[in-house]
Chains A and B, each alone.
Chain A
Amino acid sequence: MKIPRVLYISLSNKRSEIVEREDLRNFLGGTGLATELFLENVCLDLHPTDPKQPIVISPGYLTPYFPVATKSIAVFYSPLTNSLGESHAGGRLALAFKLAGIDAVVITGRSEKPCYISINNGDVKINNAEPLWGLKATETATYIRDREGMSGLRSILRIGPAGEQKIAFSMVIVDTYRHFGRLGLGALMGSKNIKSIVVSGNGVGLDRDVDFDEYRRIFEELHRKVITGSMRKYHEYGTSINVLPLNELGALPTRNLKSGFFERAEKISGEAFAEHNLTRKFACAGCPLGCIHIAMKRNKFAHEEEWERNEVSYDYELIYALGSLIGIDDRQSILKMIECTEELGIDAIYTGVFLSWITEAYERGIITENDLGVSEVKFGDTEKYIEILQNLVYSDKKFYVLARKGLTHIIEEYGGFDFALLVNKNAMAGYHTGYANLIGQSIVGIRNAHTDNAGYAIDQEVKNFDPKTLIDLLLNEEIFRAFFNCTGICLFARKVYDINLLVKISRLMGYEIDEEYIKQIGEKIYLKKMIFKEKTGFDIDNYKFPERFFETPSGKKILSREFVDAALGEFKDRLKTLKREYNL
């Protein structure tokens, strides 16, 4: 096993050092290494945005050695859930970390003034970013790019005004089109006065002593598999190809999940976006597939044919959250909403759930124009939604001050829990497919982010499961992914990289693992995260599901609470047994 090189940056005393953590080599990289470093550094008794809390980011251990191993994993104390936060981002970040010779970074403390951090190889500079404070996330990078070198071998992270305001669902933008989107990492950067982080390196030390012929053979076979095999669908239309089939199933959350069917889904389908709006595709560094779909947002801002344009990325989750969920059926309006979340720097999925709750609460009279400063809020009204999001960041009204902490805080004050689409305090992903998705996101999942849970696939692929089978499937997959997310390989490629191949290429790169090791390390990581969740208040016995998930049919069936209760019972048993195995 390679010894991980961990870069510690302490902003309060402006110091940094690289420590070779031989004791952590068994945790490989990515989520395994990041979780360990997080648990070592987190202060349980302090608020998540306290400057002492750590931001930990680690690229996968197979990055950048194999195709599609493009992910960096951030682990942090989420200000949105007051519990474990984990978010994954692609772009060039993982490659840049590895070029810089860094396997993980741990950032603690707070800079006295707004700063941006540049990490070049092992060198760390903390630069003044006062003029950048307050800028849109999109503008910020423009200045950083000009000041920093190594174009092409670098990655730029930045937050928008939402992160500066420590809004609990603010995100970090990575290389324009990728994000640490979920669970509020942007607020942590804001709380440390970090506007941006630039990572670059010249790759010294990246070479290893490997059987090069074998390496080349495997790499090139994988390259071909990725661009010609089953992953191809992610390139063609991308995940937005799912809009119509999920709608057909009755699983496309519509107007705050009052329905699983959006009658105008065809207007916002992946096919429609491709035909009318798609202008290009991008890829993360090291992924020959390229799943990032870019559309042109155009807007007529004055008479005499005055137009402005911007290129924004879209995918299924964004079309769900900023489309059907809030009743928007116009593609340009969806793109405008996406642009707004990018500029402010807020999680698009949470934003959709937040706005859809507001719309229904307004309909019911729970909140009014006085609370929002916006009148006649109704589903589908893009301009009103943009106004509300501006208020979220800039207004001092009581409603927005609460909203910045997340929907749960609004609900405590105003009520309306049962129609808030929350899964363990995070926003639901766009799949009302059934039990596996609901329980996976709410209970079994240890990351609570949309791509990291097998639930929606199990719902669609496995017929007639009982509670026990369901828990087995969810938990086994979650444990496997706890390992898989150490590698840095994108989850879209999980079917390309089967377990035998993972063992083989890990060993080729000097990681002496086998199938048993994969199972054990997965279980260990899973348990450590679950125990942290429990320590921060997660309690299955007292977990409450919003009623809405049971009111609106998932597909053609209404979900039953009895089934869910039985599944939770199974899960508790499995968890107890697992903990006993590890004496935890």
Chain B
Amino acid sequence: MVVAIKVAVNCFMRKVLIAKYMSRCMGCMSCMFACARRVRKSLSVAKAAIRIKTKGGYSSGNMVADHCRGCEDPPCISYCPEGALVKRKNGGIILKSALCKGCKNCMEGCPVRAIFWDEEKNLPIFCIHCGNCVEFCPHNCLVIGEI
């Protein structure tokens, strides 16, 4: 009985990137560099699936991380007219890049603006919740956690 409940809970658990301690963020962008380098195999931080920015300037408050929240029912999926977005089992999105026509509707469909664009490949950039960025944050602002 206990085992059965655990299995049922696990079905709903998603293991995703959480920007948990942003009041500690220095804005060094090491997470963005790590994502670009390790996941996208790119030298450009513009290819990262996480973006660190200020909210009204450095002196105005904490840094903000735009990143995929791993929604239970990701709204971006329904914005894709080509069916190129599939819900990832543990949270996040899997992109079927062959189907994508580059309309950028998905970006509009993300309420937290966490979908970025690869201008060279003309494809959206989705977080795969792999945790590579977490490893490189010098102040441990980011975690991979269950939601």
Which residues of A approach B to under 8 Å, CB–CB? 64-65, 67, 95, 99, 138, 141-142, 145, 151-153, 175-177, 201-204, 206-208, 210, 212, 215-216, 219, 223, 227, 280-290, 292, 310-312
Residues of A within 8 A of B37 (CB): 215-216, 219
B120 within 8 A of A: yes
Chain A nearest Cβ from B44, distance in angstroms: 4
| B interface residues, how many (CB within 8 angstroms) | 31
Closest 10 interchain pairs by CB? A203-B46, A152-B53, A283-B28, A203-B44, A206-B44, A290-B26, A176-B58, A283-B26, A151-B53, A152-B51
Residue contact A311 to B33, C-beta cutoff 8 Å:
no
Which of B26, B45, B57, B136 sits near A281, CB closer than 8 Å? B26
With A152-B53, A219-B37 as contacts: A286 and B43 at CB distance below 8 Å:
no
Q: From residue 31 to 70 of chain B, which have CB atoms closer than 8 A to chain A? A: 33, 37-38, 41-47, 51-54, 56-59, 66
Contacts of B128 in A (CB 8 A): none
Determine whether the beta carbon of A64 is less than 8 Å from that of B45. yes
Return the contact of B27 from the options A153, A285, A310 (Cβ within 8 A): A285
A287/B43 in contact, CB under 8 A: no
Q: Is the CB of A151 within 8 A of B54?
A: yes
Count A-B pairs with CB separation below 8 Å: 94
Cβ B59 vs Cβ A311 within 8 A: yes
The answer to whether A223 touches B53 (Cβ under 8 A) is: no
Q: Are A176 and B136 in contact (CB under 8 A)?
A: no
Q: List 22 A-B contacts (CB under 8 A).
A: A64-B45, A65-B43, A99-B44, A99-B45, A142-B57, A153-B51, A176-B58, A176-B59, A201-B46, A203-B44, A203-B119, A207-B120, A215-B37, A216-B38, A283-B28, A285-B28, A286-B28, A286-B33, A288-B136, A289-B138, A310-B59, A312-B59
Q: What residues of A have a CB within 8 angstroms of the CB of B78 in the complex?
A: none
How far apart sit A142 and B57, CA to CA, in the bound complex (Å)? Answer: 7
Question: Taking beta carbons and an 8 Å cutoff, which residues of B are in contact with A?
Answer: 23, 26-30, 33, 37-38, 41-47, 51-54, 56-59, 66, 117, 119-120, 136, 138-139
The reply to whether B57 and A206 contact each other, CB–CB distance below 8 Å, is no
- Is there an interface contact between B28 and A206, defined as CB atoms closer than 8 Å? no
Contacting pair B41 A212 (CB below 8 A): yes
In the docked arrangement, what's the CA distance between A285 and B59, Å? 16
Residue of A whose beta carbon sits closest to that of B51: A152
Taking the closest CB of chain A, its distance from the CB of B70, in whole angstroms, is: 21
* Across-interface contacts of B29 in A (CB, < 8 A): 95, 285-286
A227 x B66 contact (CB < 8 A): no
A153 near B46: Cβ-Cβ < 8 Å: yes
Contacts A206-B42, A216-B38 supplied; 15 other A-B pairs, CB < 8 Å = A95-B29, A152-B51, A153-B51, A177-B59, A204-B119, A207-B44, A210-B43, A280-B26, A282-B26, A282-B58, A283-B28, A285-B27, A286-B28, A288-B28, A312-B59
Q: Considering the chains assembled together, what is the distance between the CA atoms of A312 and B59 in angstroms?
A: 8
Q: Are A204 and B57 in contact (CB under 8 A)?
A: no
In angstroms, how far is the closest chain A Cβ from the Cβ of B47?
A: 7
Contact (Cβ within 8 A) A284 B28: yes
In the complex, what distance in Å separates the CA atom of A151 from the CA atom of B54? 8
Q: State the CA gap A553–B106 with chains docked (Å).
A: 68
Q: Report yes or no: B46 in contact with A206, Cβ–Cβ below 8 A.
A: yes
Q: B43 and A207: CB pair below 8 A?
A: yes
Q: For A212, list chain B residues within 8 Å (CB).
A: 41
Q: Cβ of B136: which chain A residues have Cβ within 8 Å of it? A: 223, 288
Report the minimal beta-carbon distance from B129 to chain A, rounded to whole angstroms.
Answer: 20
Please give the distance in Å from A232's CB to the nearest CB on chain B: 11
Question: B127 CB to closest chain A CB, in angstroms?
Answer: 15
- CB–CB A282/B27 < 8 A: yes
In the complex, the chain B residue whose C-beta lies closest to that of A201 is B46
Is the Cβ of A141 less than 8 Å from the Cβ of B57? yes
Residue of A nearest to B61 (CB): A311
Give the Cβ gap from A293 to chain B, nearest Cβ, in Å.
Answer: 11
Q: Do A207 and B58 form a contact, CB below 8 Å, given A282-B27, A286-B33, A288-B138?
A: no
How many Å lie between the Cα of A206 and that of B48 in the bound state? 13
- A311: B residues at CB distance < 8 A: 59
A98 to chain B: closest residue by CB: B44
Q: Which residue of B lies closest to A226 (CB)?
A: B138
Cross-chain contact B54 with A99 (CB below 8 angstroms): no
Q: Are B45 and A203 closer than 8 Å at their CB atoms?
A: yes
Known: A203-B45, A204-B119, A290-B28. A145 touches B138 (CB 8 A): no
Looking at the assembled complex, report how far the CB atom of A318 sits from the nearest CB atom of chain B, in whole angstroms: 16
CA distance A578 to B91 in the complex (A): 64
Give complex CA distance A281, B63 in Å. Answer: 11
Distance to closest chain B CB from A265 (angstroms): 28
Chain B residues near A142 (CB, 8 Å)?
A: 56-57
Of B26, B42, B46, the most chain A CB neighbours within 10 A belong to B26
Chain B residues near A285 (CB-CB < 8 A): 27-29, 45
| Chain A minimum-CB-distance residue to B42 | A207
Residues of B within 8 A of A310 (CB): 59
Question: Does B59 lie within 8 Å of A223, measured CB to CB?
Answer: no
Q: Which of B23, B27, B37, B41 has the most CB of A within 10 A?
A: B27
Bound CA–CA A406/B50 (angstroms): 46
Q: Is B57 in contact with A176, judged by CB distance below 8 angstroms?
A: yes
Expressed in whole angstroms, the minimum distance between the Cβ of B16 and any Cβ of chain A is 21
Minimum Cβ distance to chain B for residue A489 (Å): 15
Separation of A212 and B42 alpha carbons in the complex (Å): 9
Nearest Cβ distance between residue B104 and chain A, in whole angstroms?
13
Could you tell me the distance between the alpha carbons of A206 and B28 in the complex, rounded to whole angstroms?
19
When chains A and B are docked, how far (Å) is the Cα of A292 from the Cα of B27? 11
Min CB distance A285 to B, Å, is 5
Min CB–CB distance B43 → chain A (angstroms) = 5
Q: How far is the CB of B27 from chain A (nearest CB, A)?
A: 6
Contact between A145 and B30, CB atoms less than 8 A apart: no
B54 / chain A contacts, CB cutoff of 8 Å: 151-152
- For residue A176, which residues in chain B have a CB less than 8 angstroms away from its CB? 57-59
Closest to B65 in A: A152
Please give the distance in Å from A65's CB to the nearest CB on chain B: 6
A152 to chain B, nearest CB (A): 3
Residue of B42, B51, B57, B58 with most partner-chain A CB within 10 A: B58
Task: Please name all residues of chain B whose beta carbon is closer than 8 Å to the beta carbon of A206 when the two chains form the complex.
Answer: 42-44, 46
Contacts of A219 in B (CB 8 A): 33, 37
Distance, CA A200 to CA B51, complexed state (A): 14
Contact B46 A202, beta carbon cutoff 8 Å? yes
Please indicate the chain A residues that have their CB under 8 angstroms from the CB of B41 in the complex. 212
Q: Which residue of B lies closest to A121 (CB)?
A: B119
